[in-house]
């Protein structure tokens, strides 16, 4: 069995695959002060909640964009699962080509998303990942990862509004009842929600124009479902896309 771990700035997602099937997965807040032992107790507990014994795991793959947490999870895997994990980066063997100016600068989450999307749908394809940031990743018909765009996510924008403006505050990210807010909370919700939709569609507009092709567009990430039906481009949502990409990359090392 394969344990996949996607470590993000805001959330960490872990899932277990058995014979290519995702048994279950969990999304929890990323604790940047996590110790190896805390991580071990937490991860073994998650695995056991899936009805799996730790001894049944034979592989661990980690995709991390949090440098301080990468060694914590790496050491946790070795100590608690007795497995040296695969750390995903542009340096490992990949089923796509990284055509970025500096391949080492591409985050593990972006690599995993690109690999999974290309495996599922081929190219050209744009992946929109709604996380702390909104990542736009582009893969061509022949499997070249070109790059994309990185924009602030709605939760980051909400935090900055509250931090920088004395009379504003954080609100829940959700579709407002009206575009014209009648109070401060509704006004912030409207700006954040429709601002995000407009940002996403405009960036995709520009990417499509530059590509000179009509790509498939898919979404992933914790907030993707909130925006799917409001973007004119996003065709489908794939919540476990990053984990699926990590699995494919792990499998590819022995191919």
State the catalytic residues. Answer: 109
The two three-digit tokens of residue 216, written as one number: 């498939």
List strand residue ranges (DSSP E) for 83-200, in order: 86-87, 97-98, 125-130, 133-139, 144-152
Q: 75 burial class (0-12, 13-18, 19+ CB within 10 angstroms)? A: middle
Distance CA 116, CA 167 (A): 43
Distance CA 126, CA 118 (A): 10
Residue carrying structure tokens 């497995």: 83
DSSP letter (8 states) at residue 233: S
User: Please, are residues 16 and 47 in contact by the beta-carbon 8 Å criterion?
Assistant: yes
How many angstroms separate the Cα of 123 from the Cα of each of 41, 54, 109, 115? 41, 37, 18, 11
User: Please, are residues 111 and 66 in contact by the beta-carbon 8 Å criterion?
Assistant: no
User: Please, are residues 6 and 13 in contact by the beta-carbon 8 Å criterion?
Assistant: yes
């Amino acid at each position: 069995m394969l344990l996949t771990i996607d470590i993000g700035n805001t959330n960490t997602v872990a899932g277990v695959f058995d014979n290519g099937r995702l048994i279950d997965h969990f999304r929890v807040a990323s604790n940047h002060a996590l110790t190896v032992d805390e991580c071990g107790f937490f991860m073994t507990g998650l695995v056991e909640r899936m009805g799996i014994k730790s001894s049944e795991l034979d592989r661990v793959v980690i995709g991390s964009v949090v440098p301080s947490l990468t060694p914590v999870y790496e050491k946790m895997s070795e100590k608690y699962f007795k497995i040296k994990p695969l750390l995903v980066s542009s340096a490992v063997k990949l089923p796509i080509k990284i055509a970025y100016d500096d391949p080492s600068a591409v985050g593990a989450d972006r690599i995993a998303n690109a690999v999974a999307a290309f495996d599922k749908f081929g190219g050209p394809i744009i992946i929109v990942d709604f996380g702390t940031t909104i990542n736009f990743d582009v893969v061509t018909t022949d499997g070249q990862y070109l790059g994309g765009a990185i924009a602030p996510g709605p939760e980051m924008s909400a935090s900055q509004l509250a931090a920088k403006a004395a009379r504003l505050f954080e609100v829940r990210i959700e579709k407002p009842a009206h575009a014209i807010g009648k109070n401060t909370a509704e006004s912030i919700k409207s700006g954040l929600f429709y601002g995000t939709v407009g940002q996403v569609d405009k960036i995709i507009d520009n990417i499509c124009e530059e590509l000179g092709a009509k790509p498939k567009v898919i979404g992933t990430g914790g907030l993707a479902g909130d925006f799917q039906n409001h973007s004119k481009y996003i065709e489908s949502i794939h919540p476990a896309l990053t984990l699926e990409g990590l699995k494919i990359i792990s499998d590819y090392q022995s191919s």
